Each structure stands twice: as structure tokens, then as C-alpha cells.
Amino acid sequence: MRGRLQSVFSSFEREAWIRFFAAIFALTLAFGAAMFSTVTKDAGNVLGTAVLASVSLLLAGWVALTTVPYLARRVAIARVRDALDYDVTREGLAYMVIVLIIGIAALNTGNNLLFIVLSAMLAAIIVSGIASAAMLERVEMEITLPEHVFANDTVVGRVNLRNKSRWWPAFSVSVVPPKVRAAKIKWVLHRSMFRWPPKAPPEKQWLKIPDLYLSRVVIPAIRADILKDSVYFPYVPPVSAVNAEVELSFAKRGRYVQDGFGISTRFPFSFLAKTRRIGLKREIVVYPEVEPTDELFHILPMITGEFEAFVAGRGYDLYRIREYLPEDSARHVDWKATAKTGALKVREFTREDERKLRIVFDNPDPGRVALENYERYVGLAASLSWHFAAENTELSFAVHEALESPDIYGFLRFMATVQPKAGASLLESLPLSDDYNVIFTARARGSIPTPLWNCSYFVFLE
């Protein structure tokens, strides 16, 4: 038990305790300096009064600016601590310097007018804090993001602010992203009961003493990947809503997360920038870029040609006019073409309801393909699927994991976050079907199952 208590007390935040006792010591010195300044004033020592009064104010100001905010952030009541964030502005710093100078002058001279001016300036700070906090409390926000987003494509989101107050408008309000923070580990102190013997049943434990123990808690990171700049609203009328459009663009595919937002204002005097945290989490899945590339233009005619040859058959869409074969039906003879050429010609149609294409992405093992090449082929697979989705083609997809939805957007969502993954090749268990396959794989050509060669076009990841 002794060792456990030693570990508990040794793990307290030493910096917080050091600052606390330093603040107590500094305030004691400030109080003593203020008392002695009164004595020197009565004795007629102007220089001593000025020095002691200045030291008293400087010590009190040092505690107010350094120790009080530091300790306030460690208040256990989350509702009070997290309600508002305060950031001192340049104007606020200049104003505090002027207040400090006037305060020193008032103490040194004993001029009542200076004390009145000092009181008015301090009251302005209080009024500013109350007015801005009350205004932020009555403002709500909502953000609407597009459903489908492609890399390197500019999309528009909408930020909406609503003022719930019936009487007072909101002035100079901004929607800001949260402060980005990396994940960190925090030790939390808990109450428990020390029992002896520890393994005995509760009714046979003869020693029970209140105890403390520490637990390790991981505080997750805060990300701001979507809204990175502030959105300014100069005026929000009472019981009304205003909105603004925000252009968003993402350079790479992937999952982008926004861990909350903030509503900030400097109203009315810009002494402090107050920010109210909004626990509104948003997420966007950015699909790979589907803009045509040189590589797509190079392989698309070959895929299209082999695909059209594969689906040639009986249907309603004319595929070609060719020479008559003994197995052809006489009802498909094209008599106009026969009369022109002097040879028997027949019409050949595409297979009815069989223009089926399957995109197969055989995800390679980590390190098998260079990252740059992997990203290029991910984009190529997405571009091909997007191209054929716009054609009169029935698309299906084959990947290692089950897709959220089997349509084109489900495949693009998968391709947005896919990464190389160890495992058996998809081609070993790929079911045969009547679909024509476009297969992306990093396997060697000689290890590909023979039946796939007759109904597939291969794109080898190298």
C-alpha cells in the first residue's frame, strides 16, 4: 500500500502545484508591498511609495496573467471549463497596459479622477465579457456538406447560423475550426478501497481503507481537415438565420474528419476573442480523382474493343454487318447490304441484357507496389468505373472486403480509403461469370488462372 500511495503522490502535476504556491507567495509579497506603500506615503517618501505600489501591481498582474488562466484550465467542472475559450487580442494587450499604467498613476498620486477612469476601464472589460458571452450563448450553427466529393474537385458547403434571441441581434460572429491537437496520454486519479487480504471474499476481509489509484486515459486527437478557415457573419438578426457558402477542395483521396467547430466573436470592444465550442462532428469521404488521364486514354480503346467483341451476339443493338455463316438464321440477313456487295450479309447484334462489366481490384500486399504507382492505379480503376457507369453497361465490382453498397458510389467509397493489405490473392477465389472482367493485379502473369484470360483485360500494378 505504501508503494502504491507513493506512486500516486509522485504522479501529481508538479507544475500546477509549483505555480499555485508561487502565486500565493507572489500575492503575499504584493499585499506586503501595498501595505508598506501606505506607510511610506504617510512618511512623505514619494519614491518609496511609487516603487512599492508598482511592485504590488506588477506582482498581482503577473499572477492574473500567468497562474490564474493555467489553473482555471484544470477546473474539474467541464461545463465551466469548456464553455468558452479566451484568446487575448493585440488590442486587449494594449488596453491592459494602459489600465496598468493608469492604476499605478492612481496609486502613486491618490487622484480620485484617475481612480474613476480606472474603474470605468475595468467595468468596460466586464461589460464586454458579459455581452459577448450572452450573445454567443444564443447562436446555433449547422453545416451542410456535399455527399459525393472527388479529389482535386471544388465543391460547395453551406454554413448556417441561427440567432435564437428574440430581442438582440448578433454582431461580428465567425465560425472557426477547432484548434488542432495531437493525441496525448493523461493520468486520471480515481477513488478506490484497499482491501486485505486481497483475494479473500468481502466478508472475510478484515482491512478496508479508502485508497487512490491512477488510470491511463488516451485523449484522442482533434482534427480540422474540412473547414480550415473562418467564415465571417457581420450581422445575424433576432430569431433569424443566415448562411454562407464555402468552397472546399481536397488534394488527395481519403477520409477527412472535422472534430467540432467554434463560434467566435470579438464583440463589442475586441479585448478578447471568445470562442464557444460546438460539438458538431462531420466527416467526408473523398473519392479518387476521375478526370481522364493519358493512361486512361491509352487503355480505354483496347478495353472497349475487347469488351464489344465479347458481348457480340443476339440482341437489339447492332454490333456489325458480317459475312453469312451456315449457323446463322435467315431472319438476320441484311438484304440491302447483300444487294450492294453481291454476297450474303447478316446483321450481328450485341447480347441482350448482357453488357456486363466487372471491375476487379486485387489489392496487393504492403511493399509489393511502390506507393506512387499504387495511387496511380487506384485512380485509374476509379476513372474506368466512372466512365463505364455513364455508358449503357451493367457494372459489378469484386474486392477483398464487402462493399457498403454494390453500386458505383459504394466502389468509389471503398477506393477512397483502400490501402495495401496482406492476404491471399482475390483471383484465387474469384467466381466465374458471364461478365467481362477488367482486373487490376500485381500478380505475375504466369500465376493467373487460365480461365480468366479468355474473358478479362489485365492491368498489372508495377
**Helical (H) or strand (E) element with 356:** strand 356-361
- Condensed to tens digits (0 to 9), the pLDDT of residues 227-251 reads 888 999 999 999 999 999 999 999 9
DSSP 264: E
User: With 50 as the cut, is the pLDDT of residue 7 above it?
Assistant: no
- Condensed to tens digits (0 to 9), the pLDDT of residues 348-372 reads 665 544 567 888 888 888 888 888 8
pLDDT (0 to 100) of residue 10 = 47
Q: Are the CB atoms for 177 and 258 separated by under 8 Å?
A: yes
pLDDT (0 to 100) of residue 300 = 63
Q: Give Cβ neighbours of residue 337 (< 8 Å, ≥ 6 apart).
A: 321, 345
pLDDT band, very low/low/confident/very high, at 328 (cuts 50, 70, 90): low
**Helical (H) or strand (E) element with 126:** helix 112-137
pLDDT band, very low/low/confident/very high, at 307 (cuts 50, 70, 90): low
Nearest partner of 385 among 456, 302, 311, 300, judged by Cα = 300
pTM of the model: 0.67
pLDDT (0 to 100) of residue 215 = 77
- Condensed to tens digits (0 to 9), the pLDDT of residues 51-64 reads 887 887 788 777 77
User: With 80 as the cut, is the pLDDT of residue 335 above it?
Assistant: no
